């Protein structure tokens, strides 16, 4: 892998959907860099510090959320002199997002008083009263023709279906939830999944015309759903719960066909490979020993400060995994499936049980079994699948990058001083990886993964 130098950032960073540009927030400036040369191609000055950025789907426009004002500013890459400013006045702005046509911006006011659709083509705007959430509760169909917006009035939750062409309300129907948590269209736009707050285990499948197709409840009298995700192929619906289990439903009968348990002790027989991150011992050859004492001292200081290599070691079963029991007297317990992500081909799904934050589980949906377990030294911050193949990348806030493929797992050291990875993102074609530190970022050129590639666990 080849790494760029580090560049300054003070907020969000993201690739454009066409992978040609990287948008970076540096205080009140929006810096647009070319992904090949990393030269600055545009520089926009906002009126306040940038809290949030989002590209339009066509990569021609980009919006910046200035939530301290609160205000939204939008810019055009093709017409740098063009600008747009959205100010809701006393109502404020809690969140903003692009519509699929890249010509409308949806904003949610503070206290969820209303959701407003702003047109960049003309001065028209449409209001939807009482949106349920600020950053959640809005989902678009894959073809971009319809939007489902969650609202709440008279102590009941509703789904409003809007046409993304005219922004007229096509239908409204009530849903059987106590406190709706979020909503998501299926990849084939044939169904809508809705799930309730953690206090009530309830997953509901609705048709676009408001018919409840299925109601799923795994158990009662306990914290319920924590995460829900459609597979890219649309055939599976994964539900992660606070009981530390992953359940997968099929789209034909909406019945559970797989249940995966995150055990603290893994025993055989088990076909999964278990990789544990271990320190690479500091090795000095004879030529290094002949150098000055200062060199030897610096090498030892680097090792004491954690600036040493790491590798994966294949462990034998049985093994007891590190487990943290959440305190019973505190809210928002750290337990349940807090991280869940599908591979692009829908064959694998990775999960992190928040009671075991240093463990990443990779499940094989085709064979309904665990494919691999990665045991890290530090809690897992983020994990992301390559958008083009079954390659998973994760970070733990260390100076190392970790990768897994069906052929094995390996660790990569970042050749930048004092650089620790707190977040990561792929570009759309899987050729580049954006790595974020607290106040800087870099990019890594990722080689194409051959079909017959074999990676050693000690690499």
Long-range contacts of 87-91 (CB under 8 A, 24+ apart): 88/116
pTM of the model: 0.90
pLDDT of residue 332: 77
Average pLDDT, the chain: 90
Concatenated DSSP letters of 292-339 = -HHHHHHHHHHHHTT-S-EEEEEPPSSEEPP--PPPTTSSS-S-SEEE
Least confident span in 106-115, 318-327, 401-410, 445-454: 445-454
As a whole number of angstroms, the distance between CA 402 and CA 414 comes to: 11
Sequence-ordered strand ranges (E) for 9-51: 13-15, 21-26, 29-34, 40-45
- Asked if residue 412 has pLDDT above 90, the reply is yes
pLDDT of residue 282: 56
Residue 452, both tokens: 């017959």
Say if residues 125 and 116 touch (Cβ distance below 8 Å).
yes
- Asked if residue 113 has pLDDT above 80, the reply is yes
Which distant-in-sequence residues (6+ apart) come within 8 Å of 319 by Cβ? 265, 266, 274
User: Which tens digit of pLDDT belongs to each residue from 195-252?
Assistant: 999 999 999 999 999 999 999 999 998 899 999 999 999 999 999 999 999 999 999 9
pLDDT higher at 458 or 69: 69
- Asked if residue 304 has pLDDT above 90, the reply is no
- Asked if residue 114 has pLDDT above 70, the reply is yes
* Nearest Cα residue to 94 out of 106, 85, 107: 107
Taking residues 152-173, report their average pLDDT. Answer: 96
Partners of 183 in the β-ladder? 194
pLDDT higher at 304 or 82: 82
Which residue, chain included where needed, has tokens 């510090």?
Answer: 49
pLDDT of residue 89: 86
- Percentage above 90 pLDDT, the chain: 81
- Asked if residue 74 has pLDDT above 80, the reply is yes
């Amino acid at each position: 892998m080849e790494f760029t130098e580090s560049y300054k950032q003070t907020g969000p960073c993201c690739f454009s959907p066409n992978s040609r540009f990287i948008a970076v927030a540096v205080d009140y400036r929006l810096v647009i860099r070319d992904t090949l040369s990393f030269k600055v191609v545009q520089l926009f000055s906002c009126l306040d510090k940038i809290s949030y950025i989002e590209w339009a789907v066509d990569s021609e426009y980009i919006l910046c959320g200035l939530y301290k004002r609160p205000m939204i500013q939008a810019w055009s890459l093709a017409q740098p002199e063009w600008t747009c400013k959205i100010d809701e006045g006393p109502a404020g702005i809690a969140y903003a997002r692009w519509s699929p046509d890249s010509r409308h911006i949806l904003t949610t006011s503070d206290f969820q008083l209303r959701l407003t659709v702003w047109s960049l083509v003309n001065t028209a705007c449409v209001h939807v009263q009482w949106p349920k959430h600020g950053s959640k509760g809005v989902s678009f169909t894959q073809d971009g023709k319809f939007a489902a917006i969650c609202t709440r009035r008279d102590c009941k939750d509703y789904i409003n279906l809007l046409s993304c062409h005219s922004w007229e309300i096509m239908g409204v129907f009530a849903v059987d939830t106590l406190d709706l948590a979020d909503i998501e269209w299926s990849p084939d736009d044939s169904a809508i999944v809705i799930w309730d707050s953690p206090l009530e285990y309830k997953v509901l499948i609705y048709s676009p015309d408001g018919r409840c197709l299925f109601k799923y409840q795994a158990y009662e009298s306990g914290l319920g759903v924590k995460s829900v995700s459609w597979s890219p192929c649309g055939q599976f619906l994964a539900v992660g719960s606070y009981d530390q289990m992953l359940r997968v439903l099929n789209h034909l009968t909406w019945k559970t066909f797989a249940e995966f348990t995150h055990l603290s002790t893994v025993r055989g027989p088990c076909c999964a490979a278990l990789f544990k991150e271990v320190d690479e011992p500091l090795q000095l050859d004879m030529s290094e020993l002949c150098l000055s004492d200062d060199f030897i001292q610096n090498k030892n200081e680097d090792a004491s400060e954690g600036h040493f290599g790491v590798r994966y070691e294949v462990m034998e079963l049985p093994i007891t995994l590190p487990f943290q029991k959440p305190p019973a007297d505190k809210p928002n317990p750290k337990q349940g499936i807090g991280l869940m992500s599908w591979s692009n081909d829908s064959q694998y799904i990775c999960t992190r049980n928040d009671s075991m934050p240093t463990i990443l589980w990779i499940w094989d949906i085709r064979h309904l079994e665990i494919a691999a377990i990665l045991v890290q030294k530090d809690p897992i911050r983020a994990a992301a699948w390559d958008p083009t193949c079954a390659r998973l990348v994760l970070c733990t806030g260390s100076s190392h990058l970790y990768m897994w493929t069906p052929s094995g797992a390996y660790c990569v050291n970042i050749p930048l001083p004092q650089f620790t990875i707190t977040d990561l993102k792929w570009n759309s074609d899987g050729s580049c990886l954006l790595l974020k530190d607290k106040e800087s970022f870099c990019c890594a050129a990722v080689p194409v993964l051959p079909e017959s590639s074999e990676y050693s666990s000690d690499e």
